[in-house]
Amino acid sequence: MSGITSKQTHTAVLATPGMEEKMLRYARLLSDNRNADLHHIPIPAIAVAQDEAVAVAEVRNLFSSTKLNLLLSEWMKSPRAMQNMIQLTRRRGVTGIFFRTGNGRKIGRIVVAVGGGPNLYEQLWLANVVAKHHRLPVAVLNWADGIRNTFSTSTPAIADLEKISVQQLGMEIEILEYSGPSLVDAVLKHLRPDDLLVIGAPVRCGWPPILPDHCPTSLKNRRIIH
C-alpha cells in the first residue's frame, strides 16, 4: 500500500481538547493529498457514552454530505461507539485509523500484530509511516489461533513475513510468534511497556468482535487499530 489515494478530498479527525494538533498532524502525515479538507469533530475531554454517540452521528452526517476517504479518531471510551465507528468505516469502504494515546512512556518499538487477516499490508504500511516519522524499530507478532492451528494455513509463514517486511518497510524486522486462542494473551506475552501496538480491525474470521471491550482493560499500551 502506497498511502491513502491522492483522489482523497476529505478527512475526518475526532480529537479531545489538547490532542487536536497532534491528530491533525497525523492526518496530514497519513494522507498523500496535502490539500485534503480536514473536518475536526470534537470529543469532550471527559466524555460519556452519549457524547461519543453524538460524534458517531456527526461522522454519519459527514459521510452523507462529503466524499470522505479517511477517518482518524482517538480511541473512544464506549465500546459501543468504537464498534459503531469501525463498522461504519467498513460499510463505507473508508480507511479508519484509531489511536489510543499516552501512558507516560516514550515509544521504544512498534509491534504489528498479524493473524492472517486482510489488513496485513495496510498495517505494515501504517507501521512504516509512523516508524519513519519517529525513527523506531518494528516487530511483527505472528499470532495463530490454536483452535484452528493456522501457523501453516492462514497465518503468514515466517519466511513470507520476512520477505513482505523488507518489501513494505525496506528493512529487516524482529518476528515474534504465539499460538493460542486469544489475541489478547498473545499481545500480553510479547508486548513491552514502551511498545506501540498496531492491530487490524475485528473481522468475522479473525480478531474477536469484542476487541474494543478487551483492549482498554487488558492492554495498557498505546495502540493504533486500522
Task: Tell me the pLDDT tens digit for each residue of 70-99.
Answer: 899 988 888 888 888 888 888 888 888 888
CA–CA dist 59, 54 (Å, integer): 9
Are 226 and 199 within 8 A, CB to CB? yes
Task: Tell me the pLDDT tens digit for each residue of 43-67.
Answer: 887 777 888 889 999 999 998 888 8
Residue 151 pLDDT: 43
CA–CA dist 50, 81 (Å, integer): 9
| Cell 519466511 sits on residue | 159
CA–CA dist 22, 129 (Å, integer): 15
Q: What is the 8-class DSSP label of residue 4?
A: B
Mean pLDDT, to the nearest integer, of 202-208?
A: 44
C-alpha cell at 161: 513475513
Q: Label residue 215 by pLDDT band (50, 70, 90).
A: low
- Half-sphere exposure (CA, 13 Å, Cβ side) for 144? 17
- Catalogue all structural domains in the chain, each as residue range(s) with its CATH number: 10-100 (3.40.50.510), 109-225 (3.40.50.620)
